Amino acid sequence: MKFWISKMWESRLLSAAMIAMCSATQPLAAQTFSDELWNANQNVYDAILEHPFLTGMQDGSLPPDIFASYVVQDTLYLQAFADALTTAATKAPDRAWAKQLAADAQDSLEEERRLHREVFASLGISEAEAAKIDSTPNAFAYANFLIVTADHRPFAEVIAALLPCYWIYWEVGKALQSSGSPNPLYQAWIDTYIAPGYADTVTAVIQMVDSVAATADATTRERMHEHFRRSSSYEWLFWDAAYRSQTWPSR
């Protein structure tokens, strides 16, 4: 009996060793450039998820007036984002990419109109009131950064700067959906960013970034990292400005 047990364990240990050896020889999936970007900015994303604006949306405690301020700022931002996308489309090295980015620009403008029509009405904001509101310093800086980058930098850098807006909202939507929000308006916002169509759009832009990075030189890749991090940081600043009702010092 002892001999049989000894042989049984010897066989199991040998099998385990062989499995471990086979696993060790299996090539690990290569890390894409977009993986590098995300991993390098994981701390920014973590800070975004922990921001009281988003935790307040999730548990329903976010004051409606703060959400209203955010929505107004978002409509202003979307105009600039659409302009940057339109410029990016003219620089795209691939016709299909140019077509998608131009379509995304149009979608951004349509989303702006939807916000005016639906969300403003539910929040009690009139068109006239919204038109009087200026961008917060943080929102203005983010929009200006995207416009200037789109106008003056090559496509690889531009698409890296635009990617965080796509990707972070997708990830935030998935994270908040884990428990949802008791506030129907906030839940509708979450639903926007977990829709299958939006996931397809984000994935396509991620693939653009990986594709251009594959043939980019080291300097360009480093600048892509810089632009991605800058935009990611601006995403946090955008939510923070809305949460704190940020204003210009002179106003």
The CATH number that applies at residue 101 is: 1.20.910.10
User: What pLDDT score does 23 carry?
Assistant: 46
pLDDT band for position 19 (50/70/90)?
A: very low
Least confident of 12-16, 202-206, 207-211: 12-16
- List 165, 171, 222, 226, catalytic entry: 165
- 209 and 159 in contact (C-beta within 8 Å)? yes
Query: What is the per-residue pLDDT across 159-186, written as a single tens digit (0 to 9) for each?
Result: 999 999 999 999 999 999 999 999 999 9
Average predicted confidence (pLDDT) for the chain: 89
User: What pLDDT score does 250 carry?
Assistant: 76
Query: What is the per-residue pLDDT across 53-75, written as a single tens digit (0 to 9) for each?
Result: 999 999 999 999 999 999 999 98
Q: Is residue 199 part of a domain?
A: yes
pLDDT at 8 over 70: no
- 227 and 157 in contact (C-beta within 8 Å)? yes
Is 165 marked active-site?
A: yes
Is 235 marked active-site?
A: yes
Other Cβ atoms within 10 Å of 43 Cβ, number? 10
pLDDT at 221 over 70: yes
206 vs 97: CA distance, rounded Å: 11
Helix residue ranges, H only, the chain: 2-25, 33-40, 42-49, 52-59, 64-91, 95-114, 120-123, 127-131, 137-152, 155-177, 184-192, 196-214, 218-243
Tally of domains within the chain: 1
Q: Is residue 88 part of a domain?
A: yes
Q: Is residue 28 part of a domain?
A: no
Q: What is the pTM of this model?
A: 0.86
Q: Is residue 251 part of a domain?
A: no
pLDDT band for position 27 (50/70/90)?
A: low
Q: Is residue 160 part of a domain?
A: yes
The domain in which residue 202 lies consists of 33-243
Q: Is residue 187 part of a domain?
A: yes
Q: Is residue 2 part of a domain?
A: no
Query: What is the per-residue pLDDT across 92-140, written as a single tens digit (0 to 9) for each?
Result: 999 999 999 999 999 988 887 887 788 888 888 887 888 888 999 999 9
- List 22, 110, 111, 235, catalytic entry: 235
User: What pLDDT score does 29 carry?
Assistant: 65
Q: Is residue 183 part of a domain?
A: yes
